[in-house]
Amino acid sequence: MSTPQAWPYPRYCAHRGAGSLAPENTLAALRLGHAHGYRMVEIDAKLSADGVAFLLHDATLDRTTNARGRADARTWRELALLDAGAWHSPPYVGEPLATLAAVARFSLANATAVNIEINPTPGRERETGAAVALDAAALWSEGGVPPLLSSFSAEALAAARDAVPELPRAWLCEYPEDDWTAVCQSLDCRAVDINYTLLDRGLVDRAHAAGLAVATWTVNDPAQAREFARWGVDTIITDAVDLIDPSAC
């Protein structure tokens, strides 16, 4: 695996917009992360019943909206009517779900890089990977830093690679037994995005030697974030946008 181009993404990235301070994966969360100085955001994208890419982490609507059931069982017209803020706190009552298209508009207008986690509803891995990649390529075609596509699903990332090979990809690695170097090579990834509990300096060095950037999630302790930065971790994803200064090296 050859050494990648210079990593174009910021050191610090706001998890799901602004972590727990606002309803995750909403435009309100993106705005709050931006207000805290963050110029990169991590979001989760999946498909509605009619193929619209929108933001939601879970496979169901139960936890973060006022509806229940599979997230991909409703059309975007139906999903757009849901309340995605009331679960969080009264100030966000009425906050809607967001489309990937709306995120792209925010990103380009506010010079904010985006890590799109392709998070398909089970059974729609290939369809979601290809659709999100194609949408991302079109939405960011006018400029800006291209979005980074990541996923725990090798099938979704492979579909994204086949659909739009030029978009950078990262393999999300949660378990120590994962052979992340082999998976990254097979999917032609630019980065490994690894659970922070698995990180040590040797792993960071091995990844860099293999030509991979290193991202990590979800780091909420400022001292630990500073340590990871000293190790050369390329992007640190955090909920603690109010505690971790994104301008720090």
Q: Where are the domains of the chain?
A: 12-59+98-238
CB 127 within 8 A of CB 145: no
Strand-pair category, 40-47 with 53-55:
antiparallel
What percent of the chain has pLDDT above 90? 93
Give the pLDDT confidence score for residue 249 in this predicted structure: 67
Within 8 A by CB and 6+ apart from 76, the residues are 48, 50, 52, 54, 99
Checking if the pLDDT of 122 tops 80, the result is yes
Looking at the chain, the whole-number percentage of residues with pLDDT higher than 70 is: 96
Q: Which residues are catalytic?
A: 15, 57
- Provide CATH code, domain 12-59+98-238: 3.20.20.190
In three-state secondary structure terms, 22 is coil
pTM of full prediction above 0.75: yes
For residue 2, pLDDT over 50 is answered with no
43 forms beta bridges with: 116
* Mean pLDDT, rounded, of the chain: 96
Q: How far is residue 21's CA from residue 62's CA, in Å, rounded to a whole number?
A: 19
Cβ–Cβ contacts within 10 Å for residue 207, how many? 23
